[in-house]
Chain A
Amino acid sequence: AQTVTQSQPEMSVQEAETVTLSCTYDTSESNYYLFWYKQPPSRQMILVIRQEAYKQQNATENRFSVNFQKAAKSFSLKISDSQLGDTAMYFCAFFRVVGGADGLTFGKGTHLIIQP
């Protein structure tokens, strides 16, 4: 079984600053995907970014980028030029490709607060 750990229960930064959210995972799988989901107060789960384990290049989506360190089993999310609308819970999630129909494994989340 795999586990996902998010060690920062809450973070707070000023608007326009850059913030990095940490995620580590433990697995014996070699083929997997990693995700960051955002959950605003509306509670809707929104996919932020996806990383395939076989790709060495870090994924980027506009202001969001990841630092994927496969050997260290680390998958951090960097948000640049943070905005008030980025305030939300952020969840790191793992999906194993082989037999992976059994769903995502989530971390406990980081509550990110962007201060004006």
Chain B
Amino acid sequence: RKEVEQDPGPFNVPEGATVAFNCTYSNSASQSFFWYRQDCRKEPKLLMSVYSSGNEDGRFTAQLNRASQYISLLIRDSKLSDSATYLCVASSASKIIFGSGTRLSIRP
């Protein structure tokens, strides 16, 4: 079983739609959680950190459920420019583990 699991997708949704991704992690010692965005053939870039209380940044909302060990990302009013792979990350004091990513494609 992978330490961080994501649905690989692809999610293919129309512009303006709301889309949600989930990610589960197996290491209960994980302390910090992040969502990264990776465009084709580019490096991962931090989208947002995920806090226990949930946090929002514009159209993006992240939630953490420690009891069930999952993290979610919600994108509202999706734009064409949101098309990318979204990587979930769980880190402890000694390890950072990436999920394999969920591919999102926004169509006009």
Asked if A and B bind, the verdict is no
Binding site for A on B (CB under 8 A): none
Binding site for B on A (CB under 8 A): none
